[in-house]
Amino acid sequence: MTDQHKKQNCDTMAAGLLSVDEAKQRILDSVTPINGEEKLAIRATLNRVLARDILSTINVPPYDNSAMDGYAVSSTDLPQQGETRLDVVGESFAGNPYSGTLSSGQAIRIMTGAMIPDGADTVIMQEQVRRDGDSIVIGSGHKKNANVRYSGEDMQVGQTILTRGKQILPAELGILASLGIPEVKVMRKLRVAFFSTGDELRSVGEPLEEGQIYDSNRYTLYGMLKRMHVDIIDMGVIADRREDVREAFTSAAAIADAVITSGGVSVGEADYVKETLEELGQVTFWRVAMKPGKPLAIGRIDSAAFFGVPGNPVSAMATFYQFVQPALRKMMGMPNPFNTLLKVPCMTALKKAPGRLEYQRGILDYNENGELIVNTTGVQGSHILTSMSQANCFIILPAENTGVAAGECVEVQPFTDLV
């Protein structure tokens, strides 16, 4: 097939479809950060989002200190060649500094973290000296200011250390503690309600009758939302009855910042979801040029953002990660809602028809040289939920792509970054 024929085929298949990038931008433009904040003890803020900038009120470290166990000396006593002998006149420990002033020809035994004594500006590692009674012998090759951590080297008074919208992870907890801050203001938790619709769906633990299936999407949605640390409102399975669907949407929008449903967004589906959405809210039904997960519904019901993801299990997860999660992150107050992408060699050939961007499931691993590579999980059907369990990344193939040869570099989105 010529390049021109490929382009025509791609254009034909993508006719009437919204590109993934355009869909992402439209969705992000449709939501705004929620209002509301609360003050919490710093340990209770793990995984929450800062509501205010954090400015340092102290220098960290608060004083010049030693990065090593060794001997504090003056750089003026460092020999340019040969050796020199210095008298050890005291000790400096963390929390118990040496109170005197170092004179020429003297050294202080010092421990890691201990304050640098007045008159000293360099620390010689203990492995690089020879102790001889109350003296040490040091050779040449040492540099001024070696092994000294300076006051304010990490954080300085008045410096903005953490900014509004920063998610608090373990490093941020340590930063807050090092500044002596006991409590901080964080954004209130985002409230997300979700439910499934369909007479064929049964909850786990119920017996299946002919033509029925278990509702798995509610559980994957729960898992994905739980890892985002939002307040979750699981409204269960809603029957395909007009009054039940209307009541579910009305109740969800009244108590949540965002409402998510799975199923009922494809063209021609025989249920009341579309009818109710068009009646109650401002909702647009899209066909996005992606695979899996072409159908999507986006909009508002009263003051709540609405996201309708496809019913196929993998499609539901893929559209959640690519569209819903970034929007929820923005609503949570996070300024950068998107995920890390990597380029790595794909060790298996991949088939693909042009026209839609594909999120194929892959296994990111290391080869014998310690280099990152990726392999496919195999069958890529949107109903094959086990492929998501086997995978640890999406292999992202652009819409115009017509397949990948073994060894060719591809773009991957690690699942670890999606949480």
The answer to whether 214 touches 200, Cβ cutoff 8 Å, is: no
CATH number for the domain harbouring residue 297 = 3.40.980.10
Q: Fill in the DSSP letter of residue 44.
A: G
* Boundaries of domain holding 53: 38-60+153-187
Q: Is the pLDDT of residue 13 over 60?
A: no
Show the tokens assigned to 54: 């954090």
Show the tokens assigned to 156: 């300085």
One domain for residues 398 and 297: no
Cβ partners under 8 Å of residue 44, min gap 6? none
One domain for residues 235 and 318: yes
One domain for residues 216 and 228: yes
The CA distance from 98 to 91, in Å, is: 6
One domain for residues 175 and 199: no
Q: How confident is the model at residue 5 (pLDDT cuts 50, 70, 90)?
A: very low
How many Cβ atoms from other residues are within 10 Å of residue 152's Cβ? 16
One domain for residues 298 and 384: no
Q: Is the pLDDT of residue 150 over 90?
A: yes
What's the structural domain count of the chain?
A: 4
The pLDDT of 147-154, averaged and rounded, is 97
Show the beta-strand stretches assigned E in 142-245. 148-149, 160-162, 183-187, 191-197, 201-202, 213-214, 231-238
One domain for residues 165 and 207: no
Residue 291 falls inside a structural domain: yes
The pLDDT of 53-63, averaged and rounded, is 97
One domain for residues 80 and 93: yes
Residue 310 falls inside a structural domain: yes
Residue 337 falls inside a structural domain: no
The pLDDT of 141-160, averaged and rounded, is 97
The CA distance from 56 to 405, in Å, is: 53
Q: Is the pLDDT of residue 271 over 70?
A: no
Higher pLDDT, 348 or 276: 348
Residue 56 falls inside a structural domain: yes
- At residue 190, the pLDDT reads 98
For the stretch 64-123, pLDDT in tens is: 999 999 999 999 999 999 999 999 999 999 999 999 999 999 999 999 999 999 999 999
The pLDDT of 210-225, averaged and rounded, is 93
- At residue 408, the pLDDT reads 97
300 three-class SS = strand
Q: What is the mean pLDDT of the chain?
A: 91
- At residue 341, the pLDDT reads 93
Q: Fill in the DSSP letter of residue 231.
A: E
The residue from 119, 149, 179 where one domain ends is 149
386 three-class SS = helix
One domain for residues 95 and 168: no
The pLDDT of 300-317, averaged and rounded, is 93
The residue from 187, 205, 236 where one domain ends is 187
How is 307-341 classified by DSSP, letter by letter? EEE-SSHHHHHHHIIIIIHHHHHHHTT-S------
406 three-class SS = coil
The residue from 331, 358, 375 where one domain ends is 331
One domain for residues 207 and 326: yes
Q: Fill in the DSSP letter of residue 119.
A: T
One domain for residues 197 and 223: yes
CA neighbor of 163 nearest in space, from 144, 146, 184, 134: 184
* End-to-end CA gap in the chain: 41
CATH number for the domain harbouring residue 166 = 3.90.105.10
CATH number for the domain harbouring residue 346 = 2.40.340.10
Residue 144 falls inside a structural domain: yes
CATH number for the domain harbouring residue 145 = 2.170.190.11
**Edge to edge, what strands does the sheet with 282-287 contain?**
231-238, 191-197, 258-262, 304-309, 295-301, 282-287
One domain for residues 400 and 414: yes
Say if strands 357-366 and 393-397 run parallel, antiparallel, or are unpaired: antiparallel
One domain for residues 297 and 366: no
Residue 346 falls inside a structural domain: yes
Residue 89 falls inside a structural domain: yes
* Phi, psi torsion values for 226, nearest 5 degrees: -60, -40
The CA distance from 59 to 158, in Å, is: 9
CA neighbor of 231 nearest in space, from 256, 250, 254: 256
Residue 336 falls inside a structural domain: no
The pLDDT of 321-342, averaged and rounded, is 92
